[in-house]
Each structure stands twice: as C-alpha cells, then as structure tokens.
Amino acid sequence: MKQNPVITNLEQLTSEWLTAVLTQSGALTAGQVTDFTANSGGGNWSSNAQLKLTYSEDARGECQKNLFLKLVNTDTGDGEFFLPSEITYYTRDYVDLPDAPLVRCYDGAYDLAQNRYHLLLDDMSATHKAAYDLQPTLAHGQALAEGLAIMHAHWWGEARLQEIGAAFHDAAHLRRFVTIGKPGIPHVQAHFGAKLKSHWPRLIQQIFAQLPDALAARGQDKTHMTLIHGDANPGNMLVPKVGERPLYLIDQQPFDWSITTWSGAFDLAYVMALYWETELRRELETAVLHHYHHTLIERGVQGYTWEQLFDDYRLCVALTVPIAVEYMRDGGDPDWNEFRHGLVSRTLTAFDDLRCGQLL
C-alpha cells in the first residue's frame, strides 16, 4: 500500500482524497466520489467518523457507500505512547491472509513527526456490533479461537517473525510490563479489601514479585512465539448481529510498554480470564483451547503440544492479574471500580483454579 499523507482531522477530508485512496486500493476502478457526510465520534484513544459516500454516475468497482475513518494521536499525553503497529496490522501483517479476522482497510498512514496515524476501513455497523454485552457461548469461543489461531499461525515461530523484524521482548521489557501496574496494589486493597479472599492480597504481592522471572524464562524459547493482538477484550471484537461468523478483531493499539510478540495463548487468556464470568470460563475454556490448538495444527503449526499450550495459557492467566491491578494505578474511579473489581476477582479466581502458582 502506497503511503499517503496522514489525515489528522475531518476538515482535511475531501471527495478528491477519498477518490484517490479508493482508486489506489482498487475499490474504485472508474468515476469518483462526488460528496460525503461524516458522523463523528470517538473511542478511548481516538476520534473517528462514519462516512456516507456518494459516487458519480460513471463510478465502477465496489463503490462502498459506508466507510469508517479512525484518527489516532499516539501520544497519550502522560509520557506514554501507542505503537503505530495498528497500521502494519491492517496494511502489512495479514494482507496476504484472506481469511484473517480483520475489517477491510482501504488506506492507512503514520506520521512519526506528528505522532499521528489514520485508517480508512469498512463500516461494519449494519451487520456487526461490539461484543460488550455478548454472553459467551461455545460457538462464540470457537469462532474467536479460530480467528486468533489463523492470525497466530501466520507468524508462528522465530524464523517467520524475523522476516518482519518483530521484536522479542527481553527480561527488562517483561518486568516493566508486569510492574507498571504495581502502583495499583494498595488501591486494590483499599477499595476491594473486604471483597477479596483472605489469601489474595498476599498472592498479588507474590505474583508481582515472581512473575517477571517466570516470563523471562519462558521468553528464552522463541520456537512458539507469534504476533499477538494484545487487547482482545469484548469491546475490540465485532461480532455478527446474527450468527457467530465472521468475527473481526479491531483496535490493535499497544502501548510502548505492551507485549506484542509472545505466546498466542495470551490473547485467549486475556479475554477468558479477564472478561468472561467465572462459571462460563470454567465451562468453556478447555474446549475453546482445544479448538484453538486444533486450528493451529490445521494451519501448519508443528511441534506445539497440547501440554505446552496449556502451560502457556496458565502462565498468561497469571499475567492477567497484574493487568487487572494496573487498572487501579490511577487510585480508583467510582464509576469504574465495580468493573475493575470484577477484573481483579476473575483473574485471581482463574489463577487459583488453574494452579498457576506452580509456574512461578
């Protein structure tokens, strides 16, 4: 994809620009965009707009009438930055993978000097919705496992990852990822102490102390590493309004301290341990993991045993505890504390259920 100038605000958007990028992508083979409307909105870390396009009578090609423009400032303003890997997510990493669970991208550009990037994507709102309120089922879990396995298998192993210069995280980076949430520990105790099981406060301290070394030890073996999404929460999944497939994974926006190359089990642990209610996780997780493992094998992954996958999953479940605690490093928020307590409680319960302490 040819790199175009970055769009940083809606005022820069023109019919001529839309015509150019849609022509360049092959979606418009003749004619032009003559007009458009933009319904602006925003996410946690971006602004966006739903676009409705009008074409000239001689327009040919796909002539998509509904598109979605995402505008991102990678500087969060507090000394942290998003990596611009969402650009490569759509425009490089999976462009030759026709069944990847990604929304179609027509244009993407990043400007280092401005710390900005944009993406022009299909607007899926007519057929899909975010999975915020979705009650997970086995069918949903299998669809998710398939989508993740398809992406993970594509970049599986050290040799494949070296082709795109993917960074393998050293011990210092892994320690930073864990300990960045450490300021949240006293606030977890202060706000949730009465709701925590008696052994959990001590367990949280143990996890923060021992997990970095366990991760560093696992990171020495790069044989079964891959590119991960890193934030596969229900809000970053578009699920069909009817049925289970196709499912799309969106908003791949890691911080500069995030883990981006790791065991693919991370993405499954992230959603099942952090977000699925405990009883549903207990009921579904083994079957979902088996389906993920089966799909990896179907996609050509060799030598990755079920036992290793399960141990990787357990280690990643342990990692979800610091992730949950990190949400409290701001001291707590009355509007969000109930949600955050759920994250902490679910991840610690999963840690206990799966005996993750054996890996520390």
CA angle 107, 110, 116 (to 5 degrees): 115
Q: Name residue 147's amino acid.
A: G
Q: Which long-range contacts (CB under 8 A, 24 or more apart) does 46-52 make?
A: 46/70, 46/71, 46/72, 46/73, 46/253, 47/71, 49/10, 49/13, 50/123, 50/125, 51/13, 51/18, 51/123
Confidence of residue 42 (pLDDT cuts 50, 70, 90): low
Confidence of residue 43 (pLDDT cuts 50, 70, 90): low
DSSP string computed for 128-158? EEESTT----HHHHHHHHHHHHHHHHHT-SH
22-45: average pLDDT: 89
95-100: average pLDDT: 94
Confidence of residue 92 (pLDDT cuts 50, 70, 90): very high
pTM to 2 decimals?
0.94
pLDDT at 201: 97
Fold of domain 135-359: Aminoglycoside 3'-phosphotransferase; Chain: A, domain 2 (3.90.1200)
pLDDT at residue 1 tops 60: no
4-23: average pLDDT: 93
159-184: average pLDDT: 95
Neighbours of 306 (CB within 10 A): 12
Spatial contact of 104 and 224, defined as CB atoms under 8 Å apart: no
Domain ranges of the chain: 10-122, 135-359
CB under 8 Å to 23, separation ≥6 — which residues?
A: 29
Backbone angles phi, psi at 263, to 5 degrees: -60, 135
- Percent of the chain surpassing pLDDT 90: 88
> What confidence tens digit (pLDDT) does each residue in 133-151 have?
999 999 999 999 999 999 9
More confident: 84 or 355: 355
pLDDT at 253: 86
Comparing 71-75, 170-174, 314-318, which segment has the lowest mean pLDDT? 71-75
pLDDT at residue 70 tops 50: yes
> What confidence tens digit (pLDDT) does each residue in 279-308 have?
999 999 999 999 999 999 999 999 999 999
**In sequence order, what are the beta bridge partners of 116?**
73, 111
Architecture of domain 10-122: 2-Layer Sandwich (3.30)
CA 207 to each of CA 162, 239, 344: distance values in angstroms, whole numbers, following the listed order? 31, 34, 13
Confidence of residue 45 (pLDDT cuts 50, 70, 90): low
In the structure encoding, which two tokens stand for residue 153, read together? Answer: 């298998």
> What confidence tens digit (pLDDT) does each residue in 190-241 have?
999 999 999 999 999 999 999 999 999 999 999 999 999 999 999 999 999 9
d(CA 313, CA 268): 8
pLDDT at residue 44 tops 80: no
Decide: helix, strand or coil at residue 349: helix
What is the pLDDT of the chain when averaged over all its residues?
95
In the structure encoding, which two tokens stand for residue 130, read together? Answer: 């975010």
